[in-house]
Amino acid sequence: MTLDHHWFSETHSATGSAFSLKLQGKLHEAQSPWQQVAVYATEAFGNLMVIDGYIMLSTRDNFLYHEMMVHPALFTHPDPRRILIIGGGDCGTLREALRHPGVESVVQVDIDQEVTRASERYFPELCESNSDPRAQLRFDDGIAWVKNAKPGQYDVIIVDSTDPIGPAEGLFAEPFFRDCLRALADDGLLVQQSESPLFHLETILVPLHRTLRAAGFADTHSLHFPQCVYPSGWWTATLARKTGRVADFRAADAAAKPFATEYYNAEIHRAALATPEFMRRALESVG
């Protein structure tokens, strides 16, 4: 992270690249027991949340991430009713999940309530469904929560985590995914944010597919979408199904979705399933 009076810059030293936003000022800063949370006003991207110096979201483009973390998964599951979100403290993923009228309950488990409090104040549009009677916000250890879940308790688990360092490292590990598999019902599905295919292919994406398969998931597939505030501007969400194929989704239901979106639709879903050749070659060893 580089910060002067006018610009916030997140550098990615391994690739010699950086992303910068022109600032209007700092709105908020707090140190929780786990991380530092800051919010800035930017000139062109609205408010910007930063955790430990890394960009988490902006007002302008967060819809890309939140919609693609939720809607492909919920339109792939045959009947998603019981949803668990691990992480997701900004509550944008929660909001998107609750747009689905068939959803009966969404439990969000994030270890750090400071992220939610900052989001309520500076990103209120993301928190508009927090009072929905179907929503439960829990500030707890997501790894322990899944370990203690009853077998078959959830239909979909959404792992909306930060990068796999610090508190989030265990959310990319096989023991956690085995617990997720047990906590999912027979048609269960997991989705995990999985970083950039351009910058993190061999360090995160390929190992993630291998780990999910080793944990017992029948099929895995990464969906691609743009996200300009994240390293490389190209991001993925990786889906894992307990049974069946990730590529089989309810296209007719997605096309007739009863709610408005900014990015997601059935055509975007279908296109996001396409795998670039370099990634296809890298994943050949996974099977």
Q: Annotated catalytic sites, by residue?
A: 160
What DSSP element (H or E) covers 276?
A: none
CA dihedral angle for residue 162, residue 118, residue 232, residue 204, rounded to 10 degrees: 0
Q: What is the DSSP letter of 168?
A: G
State how far the Cα of 98 lies from the Cα of 89, in Å rounded to an integer: 15
Q: Could you please report the per-residue DSSP string of 34-56? A: S-EEEEEEESSS-EEEEETTEEE
Phi, psi of 255 (to 5 degrees): -65, -30
- Tell me which residue of 121, 119, 61, 114 sits closest to 94, measured CA to CA: 119
Q: How many C-alpha atoms does 185 have within 13 Å on its Cβ side?
A: 13
Q: Could you please report the per-residue DSSP string of 222-266? A: EEEEE-TTSGGGEEEEEEEESSS-TT---HHHHHT-SS--SS--H
Q: Which pair of structure tokens corresponds to residue 95?
A: 């909001």
Furthest C-alpha separation in the chain: 53
Sign, CA torsion 190/191/197/199: negative
Q: Which pair of structure tokens corresponds to residue 140?
A: 């707890």
Q: Could you please report the per-residue DSSP string of 62-129? A: HHHHHHHHHHHHHHHSSS--EEEEEE-TTSHHHHHHTTSTT--EEEEE-S-HHHHHHHHHH-GGGGTT
